[in-house]
A = this chain, B = another copy of it.
Amino acid sequence: MAVIACDSCSVRNRALCGALSRDELESLNAIARFRDFSSGENIHAELDVQNYFANVISGVVKLSKSMPDGRQQIVGLQFPSNFLGRPFGEQSPYVAEAATEVRLCTFNKPRFEALTRNYPGLERRLFENTLSELDAARDWMLLLGRKSAAEKVASFLLMVAERLKDTGCHSDTAPNTRTFNLPLTRADMADYLGLTIETVSRQLTKLKSSGLIEIENFRTVVVKDVGRLEKLAGTTSL
């Protein structure tokens, strides 16, 4: 059995590839290629005409939509192990931009789809993945439409803590504590939460003053009491 790159992949067991047989994995590995992006780069523009699929290996990718006058809304965040790209030859109707330094494991789209035809389990995984994204989008609709600024920010911190788990960015000992680096600037957080930069900043300050979180260098967040933060977030289900 040949040793392949996937064997040492940091997101292997959580990504789409996790469910593949050895055969399938080797076929997939044969068409895989790493690509690196620096913060702010437009990923669709770089990967020619979106003729690709990809897994996020490290970093965070934001998917966003804008209005003609410049107002922007982030409609999805792809964390390590998440999938990127649109099935069925269509164009993705969002802008994909690296929110941090990003490493992708990319697949040539026609060749990936050829694999899909041989391994129907792959298409099913893709489908299930899309259903999860739909659920996440609708959860976020509840947040955007009905939550207060305080609830939004609390929900966001919990979501990031959850999705950054198992990515090695953690160093938590206490069970009710979470430590992580924010992958987004205040501006991005605002665009994700439907708020302004100032409001996000003020809510973070409030959380700090109340002793619920600590922030170092504007980026490293320590949640001191996950349970209490969940209460503030209004829903447990994000």
B234 touches A73 (CB 8 A): no
A67 touches B130 (CB 8 A): no
* Complex-state Cα separation, A231 to B7, whole angstroms: 53
B131 touches A235 (CB 8 A): no
* Complex-state Cα separation, A208 to B73, whole angstroms: 30
- Copies of this protein in the assembly total 2
With A128-B88, A130-B130, A131-B88 as contacts: A67 and B146 at CB distance below 8 Å:
yes
A145 within 8 A of B: yes
A168 within 8 A of B: no
A187 within 8 A of B: no
> What distance in Å separates the Cβ of A38 from its nearest Cβ neighbour in chain B?
25
With CB as the reference atom, state the residue of chain B lying closest to A193.
B145
A135 touches B93 (CB 8 A): yes
A75 within 8 A of B: yes
> Which residues of A line the B interface, CB within 8 A?
63, 65-69, 71-73, 75-76, 86-88, 90, 93-94, 123-124, 126-128, 130-131, 133-135, 137-142, 144-147, 191, 193-194, 234-235
* Additional 8 contacts, C-beta under 8 A, given A67-B147, A137-B138, A144-B144: A65-B142, A67-B234, A73-B142, A86-B131, A93-B135, A123-B127, A137-B141, A140-B141
